Amino acid sequence: MIDISRQLTPGHPNWPGDAPFRVEPGLRIAQGDSVNTGELCTSTHTGTHVDAPWHYSDTGARLGEVGLDVYLGRCRVVMVRAEGGLVPASALAGLPDSLPPRLLLHTGQPSHWTEFPEEFAALDPALIREAARRGVRLIGTDSPSVDPLTSKTLDAHRACLETGVLILEGLNLSGAPDGEYDLICLPLPLAEVDGAPARAVLLPAGTLPGGEA
Ligand SMILES: Nc1ccccc1C(=O)C[C@H](N)C(=O)O
Ligand SMILES: [Zn+2]
Ligand SMILES: [Zn+2]
């Protein structure tokens, strides 16, 4: 099994302006309490997370309306390179015309962010449309976003909205060679939100029942 989630440690870098990731101490056995507890404070977009369409469209589905099936099943990991800051549709040129429903793009982000990676590879909307044409329903990236940090038009998110492709961002693909796997990605069970941190792992292809689904 390959864990493709980013480890969340206090102070984990966040999207500029977002709530800092914090774990505050709660009860402490050492102080006479029966248990140790903690209080978690996080942005919905911290580390490895999924976007629900409501994040980028005010009429989009909230996370509770997105079926879990899109996050579970056959996927393909592909190492890609940006051109002028965007991964182009030509990144799929060497791949079959029919792709698994989940495509995870490895752009070369490190396994741990000591600071927020302001220069990251975003996705050309044409890549998203080409991936959708080839059967992709979920696009993942090790970048913190499918759009550039300064984007105001969110062209890649819009292309995902138009094609119905869902989004998984902030992956840690440093330990995942190119190839086909079965993805298990489980967002936190928050219903009325725009996204949520998720734990994602890769299993050998064929591990999960349901074959290529
Ligand atoms: N927190 C934000 C605040 C404003 C704009 C973007 C973000 C993001 O976190 C980017 C997000 N991961 C995205 O879906 O692209
Ligand atoms: Zn996001
Ligand atoms: Zn996003």
Q: Output the pTM of the full model.
A: 0.97
| Gap from CA of 45 to ligand 1 centroid (Å) | 6
How much is the pLDDT for 185? 98
Residue 85 corresponds to which tokens in the numbers above? 């800051």
**ipTM for this model:** 0.94
106 is catalytic: no
Question: What per-residue confidence (pLDDT) applies to 11?
Answer: 83
Q: Whose CA is nearest to atom 10 of ligand 1?
A: 145
Contacts of 2 (CB under 8 A, 6+ apart): 175, 176, 181, 201, 202
Which of 12-21, 52-61, 80-89 shows the lowest per-residue confidence on average (mean pLDDT)?
12-21
Q: Considering the candidates 12, 55, 106, 112, report the single residue annotated as catalytic.
A: 55
Phi, psi for 114 (deg, rounded to 5): -80, -30
Residue 84: band (very low, low, confident or very high) from pLDDT cuts 50, 70, 90: very high
